[in-house]
Chains A and B, each alone.
Chain A
Amino acid sequence: MNDFSRILTWLPQLLLGARTTIVITILAVGIGLILSLFLALGKMSRIFVINKFCSAYIFFFRGTPLLMQIYFLYFGLPQFHPALTIRSAFVAAMIAYTLNSAAYLAENIRAGIQSIDKGQFEAAKTIGMSGAQTMRLVIIPQAVRRLIPPVGNEFIMMLKDVSLVAIIGLADLTKVTRAISSSSATALVYIPAMIIYLIITALFQFVFNTLEKKYSVYE
């Protein structure tokens, strides 16, 4: 068998692994994005409890290794109380990645909102907008534009961080690649695997560049 046809026979497995990688990435960053908006607003809140809770959350998830968070969630929590057992490795991974990316995204969102000129808040106030209206109609739409690059970045980072799920037994693209490599006793499989990663990255980049263009109409 020549190299090319060997690669072809591995392809279905690799694509299956890639699917796991992509699904976890998109869901984790997608849900994380929603969660992060609340965290960011919470961290800017003047209500002491909310502010401190959100700050502590962000500090914790950015300050400890993702690998350790996954381990702890999947293997550690059940030891504290059986009710905390998460049976599905996939669900455990989703939770860990979502909570983690929310913390990183929240800091980006906060920076995005705080980079909006103070005059925008003042102008909104002088025409009578409430705080919530100001956020929804004026600040967030402008912040979204500034957030597209860092969110795109988060997707690309996450894509590669997902390779850590192997430790709780999930077969993502990296795990599948390593399995094929050891069973076939060749490093050849790394080449198509890396190409698949690059294709996914390129797709993310394309989507985010398009979004950026679309949201830049008013600049």
Chain B
Amino acid sequence: MSIIRTEELCKNFGDLQVLQNVNLTVNSGEVVVIIGPSGAGKSTLLRSLNTLETITSGKIFIEDNLFCRAEQGVIKEEMSKEDKKAALLDMGMVFQRFNLFPNMTVKENVMAGPVHVKKTPKEEAEKRALELLEKVGLADKADAYPSRLSGGQQQRVAIARALAMQPKIMLFDEPTSALDPELVGEVLNVMKDLAAQGMTMLCVTHEMGFAREVADKVVFMADGQILEEGTPEEIFNHPKTAKAQQFLSSVL
């Protein structure tokens, strides 16, 4: 079963066509890694999936149900409000710049969604938050404010915050790009653990080692289009398009 599928997804910013007929499928349990040069539309694709951007045309399916269909910048069809809300909660998102809430402690950040959105009782949410922090190796920072943490630690909290909503898929938008090189590993390790536990993941990253090791499928994007997709072996060792060859030779 696919968790997310797009059909002929297009997104324009004014006259700029940022996504052109993107057909992407992420199946349950899969780790899909999107690579591609800057400006390819990778972030925009992720942000279109969870409605941070509104799509210009095309269809998005969540678990094979039509999530929304747009034509010429107008939403023509979409799920009922409740279904849409539930579907959005099934998508966790991790941002390049963490975006933790600085006015809340680490634990409060992780509890915020369960307590205020899912109306989970506080004690239960707290217990669960501490478990998640344990999982990302930050149990001892539960009561610290985000500003006291390193970038790598902040990003791990951000992952815990997203996981607290028990999503069916995690979207990662260059989760390690804002980190000092020595902090990248700790975040990738958390992501590898997640993948090993069967979490469905859609990651934009420039960490080719991670992609090779963890991805079930690698998608190469350039100029708003998916130019190639395949196993890491296929994409990294036998890229077909000139653009992918050129991109890979510049990053590997």
Contact = CB atoms under 8 A, between A and B. Distances in A.
Nearest to B86: A128
Interface in A182-219: 217-219
Q: Decide if the interface of chain A is mainly helix, strand, loop or mixed.
A: helix
A142 B103 contact: yes
Contacts of A137: 101, 112, 116
B103 A138 contact: yes
Interface string A107-147: 00000000001011011111111000100011001100100
A121 to B, nearest CB: 9
Given A126-B50, A126-B162, A127-B161, A120 B116 contact: no
Given A127-B113, A128-B88, A129-B113, A119 B103 contact: no
Nearest to B116: A133
A124 B164 CA distance: 13
A128 B165 contact: yes
Contact of B103 (A125, A126, A127, A141): A141
Contacts of B103: 138, 141-142, 145, 218
B238 to A, nearest CB: 36
Given A137-B112, A137-B116, A141-B103, A128 B89 contact: yes
B147 A219 contact: yes
Given A119-B97, A125-B51, A128-B88, 16 more contacts: A119-B95, A123-B99, A125-B52, A126-B52, A127-B89, A127-B161, A127-B164, A127-B165, A128-B89, A128-B113, A133-B116, A133-B117, A137-B112, A137-B116, A218-B146, A219-B147
Interface of A: 117, 119-120, 122-129, 133, 137-138, 141-142, 145, 217-219
